Chains A and B, each alone.
Chain A
């Protein structure tokens, strides 16, 4: 197994630059999630690690070896694609064995590896089926099996759960975590889903418009977003950003608590109330006439009705950002 180093990685298509220098050291065995909205370059970054896209600048090293010029098969990686990309005419067994057969492994070794992977993924009874005869979750598992049998240095996942329904996604998320605990292989996982990122990642890299906005452990990123983009991308509803004294004041919806009008630090003019059972989300704008939208997460028992809601927040929950650069100010 091996770590991965990204050193000022650049990607451009002709004049158009899509990745503007991403650097990161990924330790051996780490589970890294690359998170960002569509078109931020996260898949491109992953495909550059895989060797499916040419690296325009900088270096990518896997296990200390610079792989810029290497073909995917020589990088010792395995990739799981969003639409699974299983070979439709091959059985589950053949799908998993294909890469090993090309590498010229002996039949007995191939069989041992496929059987082992099928055991881990509980695919034993489906080995003779064609992908067409499998459900989405089973296909996903075959795609993972195809990656596992290669016993690679690094797993690359390109939004592997986004084609599954919500319930299956939660289940596969759990299986992925268990798989990573079991195999301990360095993994890069691309997603636009912040819940996947928060639950799977040991560290995550939040990308926006081809730049890494923040790299860190999920809770650390949540607690101390480095930029307004990260602050509003992670967390649902996103962090409230209120202009104050020439700066931007950020406070998460769950840190706003209702209070008496005398204690109010803010007053929200409510116009939308969403009772979720466990808690209630309320939305509105600041009552002082500014058009700033606010959201608050209230305890389910709190009375919520349209009208003015005075709220306050504790000073330790306040974040400050520069309104021009969007960067975090202070600790």
Chain B
């Protein structure tokens, strides 16, 4: 087998590398690792004040900076024993939904779609697919605008804080966001129709799907960590999720009770589909996907369905929430440990902090969706190759890239180019 090296496979967040060896139609080497320079955020927050964790850990990731902010705040509030107001939680939900809308729209059209339409990039698609790209840009714009309205900045938002909101949106802001959301409902439905019409490989992962699950809603900021009926309370996560190192990677790998698993939009759909909005349920039916799905390629469909759901859910909040003038109260600090587990665009995000009696962070642990998915994605590639090994080298690479991108990995979070090295 000749040695084939392909550098800089692209269109993912962050830098990663895949080393593949195939001999006589068998995979001999398969190593998917992050090559992003390590940043050690868990060390950076140690010694800092309890109310600084969100501003610092936001910098883990641009596209999901709201996610890190809300996860950090949730974990810190749990550590110091603070219960936020209902309005605070609703607005955090709205911020999380806004981020999900912009993130899914960006991933679906800019990172995933070109593979399926045979283009090198969304930019190259522009002349022929202007209408489709405009749709993506409309949704991204509304998501970004909402984040800016709620939290002052569209990336690394600042108004969400431990204890509540530093600045509240006005009722007019809520109305304006509602109007903007109304304006992209059709874009989201058309996105579903477009993505359902594409041809996806039939492939089953062996990994279990995990997401937060709740008895009353499409779980997002609370719930147990479940795969079907197999559930763990968030504060017990460290008894079940184990991280390990591999020499070829600058991101950790994770297992759940020793086994590989995957997180993300399709896992959420598997666990929570009955709580989808009516429009989203209609779209799900149209997709013809049977749940629970074990096909990681369905993550793309699931993101499209979630666009519809997220818009509906956000609209409901904008229409029903009457903004009260709430100030952040004086918070008495007590020592403690707290876990924050929330559903973010790419899956479940974990933040955990230990705070001492002076309000200083003494320990932190953060597990990102991509770190949880990395092991499963690597093993999926190993299992996926035998079925496509008869194809040309270019086709194999494209199929493997499609698989990796279906996970919507963010190697900035855990670890930008995927460098495929054939040995």
Q: Do A and B bind each other?
A: no
Chain A interface residues toward B at CB < 8 A: none
